[in-house]
Structure 1
Amino acid sequence: MIVRHELQPGEWIAEAQLSQALGVSRTPLREALKALAAERLVVLHPFRGATVTDLSLEQVEHLFETQAILEAQAARLAASRASAAEIAAFEKKHLRMLGYFTRGDRKPYFELNQELHRDLVAMSHNPVIIETHAVILTQVERARFAALDIGHRWEESVAQHEAILLALKARDIEHLGQLVGIHVIGTGQTVRVALRTLETDLPLAAVCSQSEPSPPAARNNKTRSMAGRGS
């Protein structure tokens, strides 16, 4: 609910109401809230409830900077360490994701997109990177979800995932790391644009036009072509 913005940043979560709505007692609910607090998704208010943590522009920038560093290095390791079977499974998921994109199925696309990011990190076979990445990924997920509201970013993201897959299959270590870093930082920039709309009350398209240029038509055409292959 928090990741998909069904509960908004700053929104109050009342223990009594949530306990009744979910049909659980307060004890397991409080344990669940403690787990969310450990992931920095909520702020606890003892015996009363919790509030959903805010997504500030500065926090989003720091989260995506950290994710970019971790995933870029994980991708470099994956290029040399991933098995052929792991890469084949990664490609299969990628093609499924293209199908969701073609049909405009936002939620399953988002979920599979996140799986691909986890899978790429897992292919590094570095348990420290994998564990550290998991700690921040839940916080990043709700910010990523906001970015999909911007149409041209969705197309751009698909094109970048296609390039990442090709570099992984070619085991091009440095190029793959660069592509992953650019992809994550680009998503972070788009999320900050989305958050600015909440602060300025400007239409999303207006903020986008002020913050970054639209992608070239050729890129959009290429993306649509790739998406067609994945349907």
Structure 2
Amino acid sequence: MKKLIYDLVFNHLPRLWFARQFAVQNQYQSYVYSADCLAAYDDTLKKLTKLWPVWEALVRGKSFLELGCDTGFFPLQAGLMGASQALGLDRNQQALAQAEEARRCLGLGNVSFRQASIPGLGLSQTFDTVLFLSTIHYMFSDKEGNRLLFSTMDDFIAFLAGLTGAHLLIEFVLPPDKYVQRLVAADLLASGEYSQASFLAALSRHFAVLADLGPTHLETRRLYLACRHGLPSILTPLA
């Protein structure tokens, strides 16, 4: 019995305490951190794995912006990778508070978080690399209390292009996705305005070259890199 108590107190409780104090998990992001470590798991790890081949090239020494950063994993990861500046914006103050707590623990002076909502971001600069994951369908939603923010795909991509100095990493949520069917305005789906073809055409109008980085955590979620000039050397342009 004494050994069981010892094992519980000295082996398991510290781990449980660490997990409770330094784990961040909700429906959008999952990660753990300490003073010198940041590690993703579940769907967040799958997304990071998809980004990883180009991550350092697009982040180290660069200014970085994530729109809809939630609890801040990717700005934090950019800060650790050596971004000159990493800014995360989100409308959820509770999620941002978790992000800020992790930032303080990691001691990242090059990372900041701010509450803001598209399209009124209040930004006066462009960023070398802009990241937009998981939420494109909300930009075209008039359901469940959402306000339709953009009526054409070109207007939305033009908005993102205005923030992007060099590279845009963007996840497109395909129409068969259950959340697209639930949230996107019916007329935009019926007309094809919200479609992969419309999305790629809009990217091509505002960026010089595109690359398809493949599905992220679901087959209905696909990651693209759009560049003002050239692609990182390891990638092949999208035909």
TM range (shorter): under 0.3
The normalised TM-score by structure 2 is: 0.25
Question: Higher strand fraction: Structure 1 or Structure 2?
Answer: 2
TM-score by length of 1: 0.25
